[in-house]
Amino acid sequence: MAAVQNSSTHPEDNLVQKGIKEGIFAGVIAFGLFLLYIGVVTEQNIHNELVYRFRWFALAVFVIIAAVGRFLVVTVGQPWLAARKADAKNKVADSGESALKKALPKLALVFLLAYPMLAVGLAGPQGSLKYVDNFGIQILIYVMLGWGLNIVVGLAGLLDLGYVAFYAVGAYSYALLSTYFGLSFWVLLPLSGILAAFWGMILGFPVLRLRGDYLAIVTLAFGEIIRLVLINWSDVTKGTFGISSIPKATLFGIKFDASKDGFAALMGLAPSSAYYKIFLFYLILALCLLTAYVTIRLRRMPIGRAWEALREDEIACRALGINTVTTKLTAFAIGAMFGGFAGSFFAARQGFVSPDSFIFMESAIILAIVVLGGMGSLGGIAVAALVMIGGTELLREMEFLKVIFGPDFTPELYRMLLFGAAMVLVMLFKPRGFVGSREPTAFLRERKAVSGSFTKEGHG
């Protein structure tokens, strides 16, 4: 009996021992990685000398988090994932969707429509600025950019590392034409999208025969060329100084200012900048809904199915008689158009644009949102934008971390570190993105979701 009991408890003991060993190993690695980044801080003394001091407590916190986290992953996370995979194999796939899953998009839309009012009710007009602007408008801009890039990367399978170039074209189109020619926002919004689509076609022609890594390098170069042009063409773009005093968007000609003809005066409200931010929130929400609607409709049309065929196998796509030239050009043009819309909105929101806002890191963040959310999945991309952009904005509110790491600790400086860690974790546990399943555009008698297990990693 004792032998039977020992043999029955042996796997758990081995699991705990393995967790302890890997936890210690992870702690040692974390100590080596964070010793110089977290454990040592340099300061300048009164003699203008650079001195350093150690922050052992902050270093110990990071080491303990790494060790305990690895122990929990080995002893709890991995067995749970293995049991879940075993249950999924033995379970018959259920084609029906729950009522909550069907109603989730509608509930999210209702919440978004009520979000500015809730922010104003809870924090007041001025207090709501932070929540409406930083947590509302900022996230929705990246949702729109992610959905625009999703057409190129997720549906057509064309790896684009220079998508921020179309974002910049839209922003500078609005900034220059509104500043020098006095055109209104509502005229320049579609015009910026058309100009960005034109540049998307210009990019599309040289890369018609390129695929994979070669396509990525060319699109990356295109994004850098646009940024360098914006920097060096100083007679038009004002170079690194940027363009300031960009006119704001109006509501049927009504300006959001403190004048007697302004929005607040006409509505009998106290002057506040919160009304303009709320207007911008609903405007970017409408642009996001337009992007989603056009994407869904196009995906069900022949051009959308041609994109998906191109993504799966370009040779088979040509064998079926699909014109890959027009298929690629339409993907680049339509994706760029939505980037131009977002850029025009960005310029109207900021009132200032400069080349520093359109660096390669922006393209990398947008592409990461598309990949982490699940290529081809609008809902997954929205969730990824909420987590990644909203999470980095939350770091600015975590002032309590200064109690642990010292008064000189600035949480937002570590946003890219946490961003990279989140990407690694998502790719480990959800390699096909937050939403790995998708609905096919063509189906026989019944629409069934395609499981992520039938989709290659990195594909929609």
- The pLDDT tens digits for 305-343 are 888 888 888 888 888 888 888 888 899 899 999 999 999
Distance between CA atoms of 165 and 343, rounded to whole angstroms? 10
Q: Which CATH class is domain 116-454?
A: mainly alpha
pLDDT digits (tens, 9 = 90+) for 44-75: 777 777 888 888 888 888 889 989 988 888 88
For the ranges 87-101, 121-135, 245-259, 336-350, which has the lowest average pLDDT? 87-101
pLDDT digits (tens, 9 = 90+) for 228-257: 999 998 888 888 888 888 888 888 877 877
- What residues contact 69, with CB distance under 8 A and at least 6 apart? 26
Mean pLDDT for the chain overall: 81
pLDDT at 140: 93
Count other Cβ atoms within 10 Å, centred on residue 407. 6
Distance between CA atoms of 143 and 92, rounded to whole angstroms? 34
pLDDT digits (tens, 9 = 90+) for 436-452: 555 556 555 555 555 54
- What residues contact 175, with CB distance under 8 A and at least 6 apart? 243, 246, 347, 353
144 — pLDDT class (breaks 50, 70, 90): very high
Distance between CA atoms of 199 and 187, rounded to whole angstroms? 19
What values do phi and psi take at 300, rounded to 5? -85, -10
For the ranges 328-332, 364-368, 421-425, which has the lowest average pLDDT? 421-425
Q: Is residue 343 within 8 Å of residue 363, measured between CB atoms?
A: no
Verdict on whether the full-model pTM lies above 0.75: yes
282 — pLDDT class (breaks 50, 70, 90): very high
Helix axes 138-150, 274-300, angle to 10 degrees: 20
pLDDT at 174: 93
pLDDT digits (tens, 9 = 90+) for 182-217: 888 899 999 999 999 999 888 888 877 777 788 888
Q: Which residue has the tokens 């998906």?
A: 308
Task: Answer whether residue 162 shows pLDDT above 80.
Answer: yes
* Position with higher pLDDT, 19 vs 444: 19
* Position with higher pLDDT, 277 vs 412: 277
The domain limits of the chain are: 2-88, 116-454
Percent of the chain with pLDDT over 70: 87
Q: What does each C-alpha distance from 17 to 20, 23, 25, 31, 78 come to in angstroms?
A: 5, 10, 12, 21, 14
Most confident of 19-28, 284-293, 361-370, 386-395: 284-293
pLDDT at 284: 93
pLDDT at 10: 60
